[in-house]
Structure 1
Amino acid sequence: MRVVPKQSRSQAKIDLILSTTAALLVEHGADAITMSDIAANCELPIGTLYHYFPNKNQVLKTLAEQSINAIDEELGQAIEQASRSNIDWMTLVDMVFDAYRQAPGLMPLFQAIKAIPELRDIVDNSNARVAEILANHVDPRRRLPPERRLLVCRLISELVQSCLEYALIQCVDSVKVKEISNELKVMLSALQNHYFR
Protein backbone atom coordinates (compact mmCIF):
# COMPACT_ATOMS: atom_id res chain seq x y z
CA MET A 1 0.00 0.00 0.00
CA ARG A 2 1.35 3.44 -0.87
CA VAL A 3 -0.44 5.35 1.88
CA VAL A 4 -1.19 4.21 5.40
CA PRO A 5 -4.66 5.55 6.19
CA LYS A 6 -4.77 8.10 9.01
CA GLN A 7 -8.40 9.12 8.74
CA SER A 8 -11.52 6.99 8.82
CA ARG A 9 -12.44 8.29 5.35
CA SER A 10 -9.20 6.93 3.92
CA GLN A 11 -9.68 3.61 5.70
CA ALA A 12 -13.23 3.42 4.34
CA LYS A 13 -11.88 3.85 0.79
CA ILE A 14 -9.29 1.14 1.32
CA ASP A 15 -11.95 -1.18 2.75
CA LEU A 16 -14.14 -0.44 -0.29
CA ILE A 17 -11.26 -1.16 -2.66
CA LEU A 18 -10.45 -4.46 -0.94
CA SER A 19 -14.05 -5.68 -0.65
CA THR A 20 -14.72 -4.74 -4.28
CA THR A 21 -11.56 -6.54 -5.38
CA ALA A 22 -12.64 -9.64 -3.43
CA ALA A 23 -16.00 -9.62 -5.22
CA LEU A 24 -14.31 -9.18 -8.61
CA LEU A 25 -11.94 -12.05 -7.83
CA VAL A 26 -14.83 -14.37 -7.08
CA GLU A 27 -16.61 -13.34 -10.26
CA HIS A 28 -13.70 -13.12 -12.73
CA GLY A 29 -10.45 -14.46 -11.20
CA ALA A 30 -7.19 -12.61 -10.59
CA ASP A 31 -5.94 -12.60 -14.19
CA ALA A 32 -9.10 -11.04 -15.61
CA ILE A 33 -9.36 -7.95 -13.41
CA THR A 34 -7.50 -4.68 -13.89
CA MET A 35 -6.95 -1.54 -11.87
CA SER A 36 -9.52 0.15 -14.13
CA ASP A 37 -12.07 -2.58 -13.29
CA ILE A 38 -11.45 -2.10 -9.58
CA ALA A 39 -11.76 1.70 -9.79
CA ALA A 40 -14.92 1.52 -11.93
CA ASN A 41 -16.61 -0.97 -9.60
CA CYS A 42 -15.66 1.15 -6.58
CA GLU A 43 -16.95 4.24 -8.40
CA LEU A 44 -13.64 5.95 -7.65
CA PRO A 45 -11.38 7.89 -10.01
CA ILE A 46 -8.47 5.72 -11.14
CA GLY A 47 -6.10 8.29 -9.60
CA THR A 48 -7.62 7.66 -6.17
CA LEU A 49 -6.97 3.94 -6.54
CA TYR A 50 -3.36 4.61 -7.56
CA HIS A 51 -3.02 6.98 -4.59
CA TYR A 52 -3.45 3.98 -2.29
CA PHE A 53 -2.05 1.12 -4.39
CA PRO A 54 0.71 1.30 -7.04
CA ASN A 55 -0.59 -1.73 -8.97
CA LYS A 56 -3.02 -4.64 -8.97
CA ASN A 57 -0.56 -7.03 -7.33
CA GLN A 58 -0.33 -4.69 -4.34
CA VAL A 59 -4.13 -4.66 -4.02
CA LEU A 60 -4.15 -8.47 -4.17
CA LYS A 61 -1.30 -8.70 -1.69
CA THR A 62 -3.04 -6.42 0.80
CA LEU A 63 -6.28 -8.38 0.46
CA ALA A 64 -4.45 -11.68 0.96
CA GLU A 65 -2.54 -10.37 3.99
CA GLN A 66 -5.71 -9.09 5.60
CA SER A 67 -7.60 -12.35 5.04
CA ILE A 68 -4.79 -14.70 6.01
CA ASN A 69 -3.81 -12.68 9.09
CA ALA A 70 -7.42 -12.81 10.32
CA ILE A 71 -7.52 -16.59 9.80
CA ASP A 72 -4.15 -17.01 11.55
CA GLU A 73 -5.37 -14.99 14.51
CA GLU A 74 -8.53 -17.08 14.79
CA LEU A 75 -6.49 -20.28 14.46
CA GLY A 76 -3.98 -19.11 17.07
CA GLN A 77 -6.77 -18.46 19.56
CA ALA A 78 -8.28 -21.89 18.86
CA ILE A 79 -4.90 -23.61 19.33
CA GLU A 80 -4.28 -21.71 22.54
CA GLN A 81 -7.71 -22.67 23.83
CA ALA A 82 -7.33 -26.30 22.76
CA SER A 83 -3.87 -26.70 24.28
CA ARG A 84 -5.35 -26.30 27.73
CA SER A 85 -6.80 -29.77 27.29
CA ASN A 86 -5.75 -31.53 24.10
CA ILE A 87 -5.57 -30.24 20.55
CA ASP A 88 -8.62 -31.41 18.63
CA TRP A 89 -7.37 -31.70 15.06
CA MET A 90 -10.87 -32.49 13.82
CA THR A 91 -12.20 -29.12 14.93
CA LEU A 92 -9.08 -27.19 13.86
CA VAL A 93 -9.02 -28.65 10.34
CA ASP A 94 -12.74 -27.94 9.87
CA MET A 95 -12.22 -24.39 11.15
CA VAL A 96 -9.31 -23.73 8.76
CA PHE A 97 -11.07 -25.21 5.73
CA ASP A 98 -14.24 -23.23 6.49
CA ALA A 99 -12.32 -19.99 7.11
CA TYR A 100 -10.45 -20.21 3.81
CA ARG A 101 -13.59 -21.17 1.91
CA GLN A 102 -15.57 -18.26 3.40
CA ALA A 103 -12.94 -15.49 3.14
CA PRO A 104 -14.13 -13.36 0.19
CA GLY A 105 -11.83 -13.66 -2.81
CA LEU A 106 -9.22 -15.79 -1.05
CA MET A 107 -9.58 -18.92 -3.18
CA PRO A 108 -9.00 -17.06 -6.48
CA LEU A 109 -5.94 -15.48 -4.83
CA PHE A 110 -4.57 -18.94 -4.08
CA GLN A 111 -4.99 -19.82 -7.72
CA ALA A 112 -2.81 -16.80 -8.57
CA ILE A 113 -0.02 -17.71 -6.14
CA LYS A 114 2.30 -19.17 -8.78
CA ALA A 115 2.03 -16.04 -10.93
CA ILE A 116 2.42 -13.53 -8.09
CA PRO A 117 5.46 -14.29 -5.88
CA GLU A 118 4.40 -11.77 -3.21
CA LEU A 119 1.38 -13.94 -2.49
CA ARG A 120 3.59 -16.99 -1.94
CA ASP A 121 5.57 -14.96 0.62
CA ILE A 122 2.35 -14.22 2.52
CA VAL A 123 1.51 -17.94 2.66
CA ASP A 124 5.08 -18.79 3.76
CA ASN A 125 4.93 -16.17 6.52
CA SER A 126 1.56 -17.52 7.62
CA ASN A 127 2.94 -21.06 7.80
CA ALA A 128 5.86 -19.82 9.92
CA ARG A 129 3.49 -17.98 12.31
CA VAL A 130 1.21 -20.98 12.69
CA ALA A 131 4.22 -23.25 13.27
CA GLU A 132 5.41 -21.00 16.11
CA ILE A 133 1.96 -20.99 17.68
CA LEU A 134 1.77 -24.78 17.42
CA ALA A 135 5.29 -25.21 18.81
CA ASN A 136 4.32 -23.20 21.88
CA HIS A 137 1.18 -25.23 22.56
CA VAL A 138 1.25 -28.67 20.97
CA ASP A 139 3.89 -30.32 23.18
CA PRO A 140 2.99 -29.51 26.81
CA ARG A 141 5.47 -32.07 28.18
CA ARG A 142 8.25 -30.62 26.03
CA ARG A 143 9.29 -34.05 24.75
CA LEU A 144 11.09 -32.58 21.75
CA PRO A 145 13.95 -30.09 21.85
CA PRO A 146 12.74 -26.59 20.81
CA GLU A 147 14.40 -26.61 17.36
CA ARG A 148 12.99 -30.01 16.45
CA ARG A 149 9.56 -29.13 17.84
CA LEU A 150 9.49 -25.98 15.67
CA LEU A 151 10.60 -27.98 12.61
CA VAL A 152 7.89 -30.61 13.15
CA CYS A 153 5.28 -27.87 13.63
CA ARG A 154 6.45 -26.12 10.45
CA LEU A 155 6.06 -29.38 8.55
CA ILE A 156 2.57 -29.78 10.00
CA SER A 157 1.70 -26.23 8.93
CA GLU A 158 3.03 -26.88 5.40
CA LEU A 159 1.09 -30.17 5.22
CA VAL A 160 -2.15 -28.44 6.18
CA GLN A 161 -1.51 -25.67 3.62
CA SER A 162 -0.79 -28.17 0.84
CA CYS A 163 -3.91 -30.20 1.59
CA LEU A 164 -5.95 -27.02 1.83
CA GLU A 165 -4.74 -25.74 -1.54
CA TYR A 166 -5.23 -29.13 -3.18
CA ALA A 167 -8.72 -29.59 -1.76
CA LEU A 168 -10.07 -26.10 -2.27
CA ILE A 169 -8.44 -25.21 -5.58
CA GLN A 170 -8.14 -28.44 -7.53
CA CYS A 171 -11.17 -30.36 -6.30
CA VAL A 172 -14.62 -29.22 -7.30
CA ASP A 173 -16.34 -32.24 -5.79
CA SER A 174 -17.40 -31.46 -2.20
CA VAL A 175 -17.29 -35.18 -1.33
CA LYS A 176 -13.62 -35.30 -2.39
CA VAL A 177 -12.87 -32.15 -0.36
CA LYS A 178 -14.41 -33.82 2.70
CA GLU A 179 -12.34 -36.98 2.08
CA ILE A 180 -9.15 -34.92 1.91
CA SER A 181 -10.12 -33.07 5.08
CA ASN A 182 -10.80 -36.37 6.87
CA GLU A 183 -7.49 -37.91 5.77
CA LEU A 184 -5.67 -34.78 6.92
CA LYS A 185 -7.28 -35.14 10.35
CA VAL A 186 -6.09 -38.75 10.59
CA MET A 187 -2.55 -37.73 9.57
CA LEU A 188 -2.42 -34.89 12.10
CA SER A 189 -3.69 -37.13 14.90
CA ALA A 190 -1.04 -39.72 14.01
CA LEU A 191 1.67 -37.05 13.99
CA GLN A 192 0.50 -35.76 17.35
CA ASN A 193 0.57 -39.28 18.82
CA HIS A 194 4.02 -39.93 17.40
CA TYR A 195 5.72 -36.68 18.38
CA PHE A 196 3.87 -35.18 21.29
CA ARG A 197 2.47 -37.96 23.49
Structure 2
Amino acid sequence: MPGMPNGGSGNSPEQIGQLRRVPVQQRGRERFEKILSVAAELIEAHGSDALKMSEIVERAGLSFGALYQYFPDKSAVIRTLAERFNEQGRRCVEAELAGVADPVALRQALCTIADEYYAFFRSEPVMRDIWFAAQADRLLQQIDADDMEFHAQVLLSVLARLWPTQPPGQLLAIARLTMQLLAAAVRYAASLEDDEGRAAIALYKKMLPTDFSQLVQG
Protein backbone atom coordinates (compact mmCIF):
# COMPACT_ATOMS: atom_id res chain seq x y z
CA MET A 1 0.00 0.00 0.00
CA PRO A 2 1.41 3.44 -1.07
CA GLY A 3 2.43 7.14 0.13
CA MET A 4 -0.48 8.69 1.95
CA PRO A 5 -1.95 11.88 0.50
CA ASN A 6 -1.41 15.07 2.53
CA GLY A 7 1.89 14.05 4.06
CA GLY A 8 3.43 11.32 1.91
CA SER A 9 7.21 11.13 1.91
CA GLY A 10 7.70 10.56 -1.82
CA ASN A 11 10.19 7.75 -1.20
CA SER A 12 10.51 4.85 -3.63
CA PRO A 13 9.26 1.37 -2.67
CA GLU A 14 12.88 0.30 -2.16
CA GLN A 15 13.15 2.83 0.68
CA ILE A 16 10.19 1.56 2.68
CA GLY A 17 12.37 -0.28 5.17
CA GLN A 18 14.46 2.86 5.80
CA LEU A 19 11.63 5.17 6.78
CA ARG A 20 11.76 4.63 10.51
CA ARG A 21 14.19 3.64 13.23
CA VAL A 22 12.94 0.79 15.41
CA PRO A 23 14.35 1.26 18.93
CA VAL A 24 15.95 -1.58 20.85
CA GLN A 25 16.07 -0.11 24.36
CA GLN A 26 13.00 -0.33 26.58
CA ARG A 27 12.43 3.43 26.91
CA GLY A 28 12.61 3.83 23.17
CA ARG A 29 10.31 0.88 22.59
CA GLU A 30 7.76 2.38 24.97
CA ARG A 31 7.81 5.66 23.05
CA PHE A 32 7.57 3.79 19.75
CA GLU A 33 4.53 1.85 20.92
CA LYS A 34 2.93 4.97 22.41
CA ILE A 35 3.22 6.76 19.08
CA LEU A 36 1.57 3.87 17.23
CA SER A 37 -1.17 3.55 19.85
CA VAL A 38 -2.00 7.26 19.68
CA ALA A 39 -1.90 7.24 15.87
CA ALA A 40 -4.33 4.31 15.80
CA GLU A 41 -6.72 6.17 18.12
CA LEU A 42 -6.60 9.26 15.91
CA ILE A 43 -7.13 7.28 12.72
CA GLU A 44 -10.08 5.47 14.25
CA ALA A 45 -11.61 8.78 15.27
CA HIS A 46 -10.89 10.90 12.18
CA GLY A 47 -9.40 8.69 9.42
CA SER A 48 -5.85 8.38 8.13
CA ASP A 49 -6.20 11.35 5.75
CA ALA A 50 -6.76 13.64 8.73
CA LEU A 51 -3.83 12.30 10.76
CA LYS A 52 -1.36 15.03 11.74
CA MET A 53 2.05 14.68 13.35
CA SER A 54 1.23 17.65 15.59
CA GLU A 55 -1.76 15.79 17.03
CA ILE A 56 0.35 12.71 17.69
CA VAL A 57 2.87 14.86 19.56
CA GLU A 58 0.16 16.51 21.64
CA ARG A 59 -1.74 13.33 22.45
CA ALA A 60 1.39 11.24 23.18
CA GLY A 61 3.03 13.95 25.28
CA LEU A 62 6.24 13.84 23.25
CA SER A 63 8.40 16.43 21.53
CA PHE A 64 8.57 16.67 17.76
CA GLY A 65 12.18 15.58 18.04
CA ALA A 66 11.20 12.39 19.83
CA LEU A 67 8.54 11.65 17.22
CA TYR A 68 10.76 12.30 14.21
CA GLN A 69 13.48 10.19 15.78
CA TYR A 70 11.35 7.16 14.96
CA PHE A 71 9.00 8.32 12.19
CA PRO A 72 10.04 10.96 9.61
CA ASP A 73 6.44 11.57 8.50
CA LYS A 74 2.91 10.32 8.95
CA SER A 75 3.29 7.90 6.04
CA ALA A 76 5.91 6.00 8.03
CA VAL A 77 3.50 5.76 10.97
CA ILE A 78 0.67 4.48 8.79
CA ARG A 79 2.88 1.97 6.99
CA THR A 80 4.09 0.58 10.30
CA LEU A 81 0.50 0.06 11.43
CA ALA A 82 -0.31 -1.58 8.08
CA GLU A 83 2.64 -3.96 8.39
CA ARG A 84 1.54 -4.97 11.88
CA PHE A 85 -1.97 -5.75 10.74
CA ASN A 86 -0.57 -7.65 7.76
CA GLU A 87 1.51 -9.78 10.10
CA GLN A 88 -1.63 -10.80 11.97
CA GLY A 89 -3.24 -11.75 8.68
CA ARG A 90 -0.22 -13.80 7.65
CA ARG A 91 -0.36 -15.80 10.84
CA CYS A 92 -4.05 -16.48 10.22
CA VAL A 93 -3.46 -17.71 6.66
CA GLU A 94 -0.48 -19.86 7.63
CA ALA A 95 -2.40 -21.47 10.48
CA GLU A 96 -5.46 -22.29 8.34
CA LEU A 97 -3.48 -23.70 5.43
CA ALA A 98 -0.94 -25.62 7.49
CA GLY A 99 -3.21 -28.58 8.14
CA VAL A 100 -4.73 -28.89 4.65
CA ALA A 101 -4.41 -32.48 3.47
CA ASP A 102 -6.93 -32.76 0.62
CA PRO A 103 -8.89 -30.57 -1.85
CA VAL A 104 -12.01 -30.52 0.32
CA ALA A 105 -10.03 -29.26 3.30
CA LEU A 106 -8.43 -26.63 1.06
CA ARG A 107 -11.81 -25.19 0.15
CA GLN A 108 -12.89 -25.15 3.80
CA ALA A 109 -9.65 -23.40 4.79
CA LEU A 110 -10.21 -20.68 2.20
CA CYS A 111 -13.78 -20.20 3.43
CA THR A 112 -12.50 -19.87 6.99
CA ILE A 113 -9.84 -17.36 5.90
CA ALA A 114 -12.50 -15.25 4.17
CA ASP A 115 -14.68 -15.31 7.29
CA GLU A 116 -11.78 -14.43 9.59
CA TYR A 117 -10.49 -11.64 7.38
CA TYR A 118 -13.94 -10.12 7.11
CA ALA A 119 -14.42 -10.29 10.89
CA PHE A 120 -10.94 -8.85 11.38
CA PHE A 121 -11.61 -5.80 9.23
CA ARG A 122 -15.01 -5.24 10.81
CA SER A 123 -13.42 -5.28 14.26
CA GLU A 124 -10.40 -3.16 13.27
CA PRO A 125 -11.63 0.14 11.78
CA VAL A 126 -8.05 1.44 11.68
CA MET A 127 -6.93 -1.34 9.36
CA ARG A 128 -10.06 -0.98 7.27
CA ASP A 129 -9.29 2.73 6.82
CA ILE A 130 -5.66 2.01 5.89
CA TRP A 131 -6.65 -0.79 3.51
CA PHE A 132 -8.99 1.47 1.56
CA ALA A 133 -6.43 4.30 1.66
CA ALA A 134 -4.03 1.96 -0.15
CA GLN A 135 -5.94 2.65 -3.35
CA ALA A 136 -4.35 6.12 -3.50
CA ASP A 137 -0.94 5.56 -1.90
CA ARG A 138 1.98 4.15 -3.91
CA LEU A 139 4.12 2.94 -1.02
CA LEU A 140 1.16 1.36 0.76
CA GLN A 141 0.32 -0.41 -2.49
CA GLN A 142 3.80 -1.94 -2.51
CA ILE A 143 3.35 -3.23 1.03
CA ASP A 144 -0.05 -4.60 0.02
CA ALA A 145 1.45 -6.30 -3.07
CA ASP A 146 4.23 -7.87 -1.01
CA ASP A 147 1.69 -9.15 1.49
CA MET A 148 -0.45 -10.60 -1.30
CA GLU A 149 2.56 -12.41 -2.75
CA PHE A 150 3.32 -13.86 0.69
CA HIS A 151 -0.19 -15.33 0.87
CA ALA A 152 0.07 -16.66 -2.68
CA GLN A 153 3.33 -18.42 -1.86
CA VAL A 154 1.80 -20.02 1.24
CA LEU A 155 -1.09 -21.31 -0.87
CA LEU A 156 1.33 -22.43 -3.59
CA SER A 157 3.12 -24.66 -1.09
CA VAL A 158 -0.22 -26.36 -0.34
CA LEU A 159 -1.09 -26.80 -4.02
CA ALA A 160 2.35 -28.23 -4.77
CA ARG A 161 1.95 -30.69 -1.90
CA LEU A 162 -1.49 -31.84 -3.07
CA TRP A 163 -0.68 -31.90 -6.79
CA PRO A 164 3.09 -32.43 -7.06
CA THR A 165 2.99 -33.46 -10.74
CA GLN A 166 1.31 -30.27 -11.97
CA PRO A 167 3.43 -27.53 -13.61
CA PRO A 168 4.68 -25.06 -10.98
CA GLY A 169 3.76 -22.10 -13.18
CA GLN A 170 0.16 -23.25 -13.38
CA LEU A 171 -0.04 -23.74 -9.63
CA LEU A 172 1.47 -20.32 -8.97
CA ALA A 173 -1.07 -18.66 -11.28
CA ILE A 174 -3.90 -20.42 -9.44
CA ALA A 175 -2.47 -19.46 -6.06
CA ARG A 176 -2.08 -15.80 -6.98
CA LEU A 177 -5.53 -15.47 -8.54
CA THR A 178 -7.19 -17.33 -5.67
CA MET A 179 -5.74 -15.00 -3.07
CA GLN A 180 -6.44 -11.90 -5.17
CA LEU A 181 -10.09 -12.89 -5.52
CA LEU A 182 -10.37 -13.63 -1.80
CA ALA A 183 -8.90 -10.22 -0.92
CA ALA A 184 -11.18 -8.48 -3.41
CA ALA A 185 -14.24 -10.21 -1.97
CA VAL A 186 -13.32 -9.18 1.57
CA ARG A 187 -12.49 -5.63 0.50
CA TYR A 188 -15.85 -5.32 -1.23
CA ALA A 189 -17.76 -6.88 1.69
CA ALA A 190 -16.04 -4.56 4.16
CA SER A 191 -17.30 -1.55 2.19
CA LEU A 192 -20.92 -2.59 2.79
CA GLU A 193 -23.17 -2.54 5.82
CA ASP A 194 -22.49 -5.56 7.99
CA ASP A 195 -25.55 -7.58 6.94
CA GLU A 196 -24.78 -7.01 3.28
CA GLY A 197 -21.12 -7.70 3.88
CA ARG A 198 -21.80 -11.06 5.50
CA ALA A 199 -24.10 -11.95 2.62
CA ALA A 200 -21.36 -11.03 0.14
CA ILE A 201 -18.84 -13.27 1.92
CA ALA A 202 -21.38 -16.12 1.97
CA LEU A 203 -21.91 -15.70 -1.78
CA TYR A 204 -18.15 -15.65 -2.40
CA LYS A 205 -17.78 -18.93 -0.52
CA LYS A 206 -20.52 -20.52 -2.64
CA MET A 207 -18.58 -19.47 -5.74
CA LEU A 208 -15.42 -21.28 -4.65
CA PRO A 209 -14.80 -24.58 -6.48
CA THR A 210 -16.33 -27.54 -4.66
CA ASP A 211 -13.30 -29.59 -5.63
CA PHE A 212 -10.05 -27.79 -6.38
CA SER A 213 -8.84 -30.88 -8.25
CA GLN A 214 -11.02 -29.83 -11.18
CA LEU A 215 -9.45 -26.38 -11.19
CA VAL A 216 -5.86 -27.59 -10.92
CA GLN A 217 -6.11 -30.47 -13.34
CA GLY A 218 -8.68 -29.00 -15.72
Residue aligning to 1:158 = 180
Aligned-pair distance for 1:194?
A: 2.9
1:37 aligns with 2:37: no
- Distance in 1 of aligned mates of 2:210 and 2:143: 28
- Distance in 2 of aligned mates of 1:35 and 1:124: 27
CA distances 1:146-189 after superposition (whole Å, capped 9, x unpaired): 11101111011111111121111x21x21210111012212233
- Cα RMSD for the two superposed structures: 1.9
Q: Check 1:69–1:3 CA distance in 2 against 1; reply closer, same or farther (3 A cut).
A: same
Letter aligned with residue 80 of structure 2? T
Residue aligning to 1:188 = 208
Gapped regions of structure 1 (runs ≥ 5): none
Residue aligning to 2:4 = none
- Please, which of 96, 99, 102 is the counterpart of residue 117 of structure 2? 96
Aligned-pair distance for 1:100?
A: 2.8
Residue aligning to 1:106 = 127
Query: What TM-score results when the alignment is normalised by the length of structure 1?
Result: 0.90
% same residue: 26
Residue aligning to 1:67 = 85
Letter aligned with residue 142 of structure 1? P
Verify the 8 A CA contact 2:189 2:196 in the aligned structure 1: yes
Letter aligned with residue 175 of structure 2? C
Aligned residues: 194
Q: Which has the higher contact order (CA 8 A, sep 6+)?
A: 2
Q: Which moved more, 1:113-122 or 1:129-138?
A: 113-122
Letter aligned with residue 120 of structure 2? A
Verify the 8 A CA contact 1:18 1:63 in the aligned structure 2: yes
Regions of 4+ moved over 2 Å = 99-104, 141-144, 187-194
Letter aligned with residue 160 of structure 1? L
SS of the residue corresponding to residue 112 of structure 1 reads: helix
